[in-house]
Amino acid sequence: METTLNIGEKLKRLRKASNLTQEELANRAYLTKGFISQLERDLTSPSIVTLKGILDVLGEELADFFRDVKHERVLFHRNARVLSSTSTETITVELLVPSAQSRLMDPVLVSLEPGTFSESHRGPEGEELGFLLQGKVTLWLDKVPYRMSKGDSFYFAADQEHRVQNSGKTPAKLLWIVSPPVF
């Protein structure tokens, strides 16, 4: 029985799993968007060197690419982060693990400019954990303020009304983990 490997289909699946557009992948692999498009439609074949370059961007090993074994991604490089649509000019929310919807938790990096409040939120059932990496933040949980300094953490049921405020004079960074994923 003859089996064929659809390189293009597999590359497209990996690209989408990394939340990259064809243009973003092309730029990072020093190729053209048109070439990536042709590859994904199996209209052309890459050289081994080109395929290795694409797979390096996608965080996939060449040997694993040709196996039919499901490869669970473990490492997520800084350049793989995706900016959430909930971001604004004063609050950025970076998804640290793209495609976390299929996972049990969603880790994000929240950056707040001084004086900035996030929108008030009440999630479905679930849990939220935060760790303040930098700055000073006030967590408002059901209208009760909790002042935090660098190194402090919080943990609460997601169905409580909550928001955060940068109560310091410098930018604040917060590692925030939500389960189940909502971003």
67-110 pLDDT, tens digit per residue, is: 764 556 778 888 888 888 888 999 999 989 876 666 788 899 99
Spatial distance between the Cα atoms of 18 and 181, rounded to a whole number of angstroms:
17
Quick one: pLDDT at residue 69? Answer: 46
Residue 85, helix vs strand vs coil: coil
Characterize 14-42 residue by residue with b for buried, 16 or more Cβ atoms within 10 angstroms of its Cβ, and e for exposed: bbeebebebebbbebbebeeebbbebbee
Q: How far apart are CA 105 and CA 100, in angstroms?
A: 7
Quick one: average pLDDT of 135-144?
96
Q: How far is 147 from 158, CA to CA, in rounded Å? A: 19
Closest CA to 91 of 20, 40, 166, 34: 166
Q: What pLDDT sits at residue 86?
A: 86
Tell me the whole-structure pTM to 2 decimals.
0.61
List, in order of start, the domains of the chain with CATH numbers.
7-65 (1.10.260.40), 81-179 (2.60.120.10)
Once rounded to an integer, what is the mean pLDDT over residues 23-33?
94
For the residues 151-169, what does the mean pLDDT come to?
A: 96
